[in-house]
Amino acid sequence: MRSIYLIIALIYLITIFGCSQDVERENPLDVQNQRTSGVVTNVKAKAGDSQVLISWPNLGFEGIEEFKIYRAYRTPENFKYIESIKAGVPKEIPVYSFLDKGSPDEPLKNDGDNIYYYRITYIDKDGVETPDPVNPINLQKGWFNVNLIPSEAPPVPNVKVMEDTDLQVRLVWGGYSKIAPDDLAGFKIYAAPKAEKGQEQAPLKLVYTIDDPRVEFYVDGNDYAANKINFRKDGETKLYKIVAFDKVGVESDTPILQGTCPNLPPSPPAQVKATFALGLNTYSVRLEWRRNLEPDVIGYKVYALWPDGKKEFKEWKTDPNDTVTEITMERYVIVEGVGVPKSYYITAYDNTKKDNDINDESEPSQIMSAQ
C-alpha cells in the first residue's frame, strides 16, 4: 500500500513539474502563458505634439498574420479599434511601429488630462484574436499596454555658440525662461564630431540631460578631474542640437548647430617651484612644475628674466611629461654694484601653429626669484 502511495505522489510531482516547464516554454503570445496571457510584450510609446508613436519588437514567432491597435481616451475602457499592422516574417521587420495622430475630424489633444491608452492584439493564421478584446483570459477587461499624454512641443531655444576658451565650446540660450511653457522639464544636449570631408556623418547622440529648467547653458570641454577628454586639439568641430523637453518627454524641433574649439594657447604651467644654489661667482637653479593637463600640450619653454625686464630664452622641453629642469653655471646680474640672480618662468606650447608658423604659447607661469 505504501508503494502505491509513493507512486501516486511521484506521478503528481512529475505532472506538476511538467506543467510548470510547459508554461515556461510557452510562446509569450500564447493566451495560456501565465506570465503574459498572450499580451504583446515590450510595447513602448513616445509622446509628441498631438501624436503618439507606439512601437514593439518583432519576436520572430510564426503564425502571426497581423496586429490590431486599440485606443481609449482618459480611462482604460471603451477601447476603439484604430489600425491594423501586417506582420512580417521573422527578422524581416525588427520593430513594428504606428504613429497615432487621431483623425482629421478628431486629432489627438495635448496636455492636461488628455491621456490616451493603447492595447495591441494579434491575429493568428486561423483568424483568432489574442487576447480577446471582449473577454480576455486572465486579464482585467480594461487591460492596456501603454498610456501617454500628447503634448505641444516646447519652443526652440535660441542657442548661441561661444568659442572663447581653449579646448572648449559653450552653448548658451539665455532668456529662454521668458518663453518656456509651464510643463518645461529641462534640456537635452545631442552632439557628434563633424565628419571629415568624404566621410559619412555619424548621427548625433544624447550626451547630457539638464533636469533643471532654469539652467540655460552647457559647457562642452575637458573634465580633467574625471579624466573626460572631449577635445584633443584646437580647431576640432562638433555638431550640436539643444532641445527643450517637457514633462512627458516631447522635444523642441531644434536645428543642428556647429561649434569649433578655438585656436587659443594653453594655460601656463602651475605649481612652479624653484630651488637656488648660490655660489661665489655663479649659481644654479632647479625648476619644477606640474604637467599641463591639456592633451594638446607638446612641450615647455624655460626663460630667465633680468632685473630690467629683459627676457632671455634658456631651453626647450620637447616632452610634455617633463616637469623639471636644472640650469647651472649662471652668472649673476650686477645691479648697483651687487650681483643678483635672475628670475625664471616657464611657458607651455601646444601642437597648433599660428599664421606665423609658431606654436601657440601660454602666458608665463609664476615668476620665481631667489629669496
Query: Which residue, chain included where needed, has cell 518663453?
Result: 179
pLDDT at residue 90 in the model: 61
Per DSSP, what are the bridge partners of residue 343?
Answer: 305
Per the structure block, which three cell numbers stand in for 82?
A: 484604430
Sign of dihedral through CA atoms 84, 87, 92, 95? positive
Structural domains in the chain, sorted by start: 26-148 (2.60.40.10), 160-260 (2.60.40.10), 270-361 (2.60.40.10)
Residue type, 156: V
| pTM of the shown model | 0.74
Terminal alpha carbon distance of the chain: 107
**Upper half-sphere CA count for residue 297 (Cβ side, 13 Å):** 25
Closest-CA residue to 72 (of 136, 130, 146): 146
Work out the angle at residue 265's Cα, subtended by the Cα atoms of residues 261 and 268, and round it to the nearest 5 degrees.
130
Q: What is the largest CA-CA distance in the chain?
A: 124
pLDDT at residue 47 in the model: 93
Per the structure block, which three cell numbers stand in for 77?
A: 475602457
Q: In 3-state terms, what secondary structure has residue 355?
A: coil
- Please state whether the peptide bond connecting residue 255 to the residue before it is cis, i.e. omega within 30 degrees of 0: no
- 263 close to 316: Cβ distance less than 8 angstroms: no
Residue type, 21: Q
The low-confidence residues of the chain, meaning pLDDT below 50, are 1, 5-25
pLDDT at residue 206 in the model: 97
Q: How far apart are the C-alpha atoms of 125 and 127, rounded to whole Å?
A: 5
| Residues ≥6 apart with Cβ < 8 Å to 342 | 304, 305, 306, 307, 312, 330, 333
- DSSP string across 17-47: HHHHHHHHHS-TTSTT-TTTTTPPPS-EEEE
Work out the angle at residue 199's Cα, subtended by the Cα atoms of residues 207 and 294, and round it to the nearest 5 degrees.
50
pLDDT at residue 26 in the model: 65
Q: How far apart are the C-alpha atoms of 215 and 232, rounded to whole Å?
A: 27
Q: Are strands 270-278 and 282-290 parallel, antiparallel or unpaired?
A: antiparallel
